[in-house]
Amino acid sequence: MERSACRFGCRIACAKESQKGQRPDFNDYLEALSKVDSNMTRPLLGAYESLHKAMGYDGNPIYTIVQASLDAGKLIIEWADKQYAS
């Protein structure tokens, strides 16, 4: 089942419905993004790994890693802005 937008307002449809009260699986976002623009899956995965996992769980304090992670997140946001500009 595919949706037009998730409850957070994402315009990339999640491939699967999540159970009530649970977040969609990150792999669902990767799969949906690959259908729209497969070149953006690597930046999304990199941003997720560094921003969410490394910095969120481990608290990586190395400036160059933090800056590169934020740059990857910015790239994804700018891509989405251009992709879904009204």
- Same domain assignment for residues 27 and 46: no
Q: Which residues of the chain have pLDDT under 70?
A: 1-21, 56-57, 86
Structural domain count, the chain? 2
pLDDT value for 54: 73
Alpha helices (H) along the chain: 26-36, 41-47, 63-83
> Do 20 and 45 belong together in one domain?
no
43 and 25, same structural domain?
no
Taking the C-alpha atoms of residue 28 and residue 36, their distance in angstroms, rounded to an integer, is 13
pLDDT in the model for residue 39: 92
Average pLDDT of the chain is: 76
Asked whether residue 30 falls in the same domain as residue 43, the answer is no
CA dist 18 and 23 (Å) reads 6
Q: Identify the domain containing residue 49 by its residue range.
A: 38-83
The beta strand positions in 35-74, using DSSP E, are none
Same domain, 26 and 52: no
Do 60 and 74 lie in a common domain?
Answer: yes
Q: Give the predicted TM-score (pTM) of the model.
A: 0.63
32 and 51 co-located in one domain: no
Tell me what pLDDT residue 51 has.
82
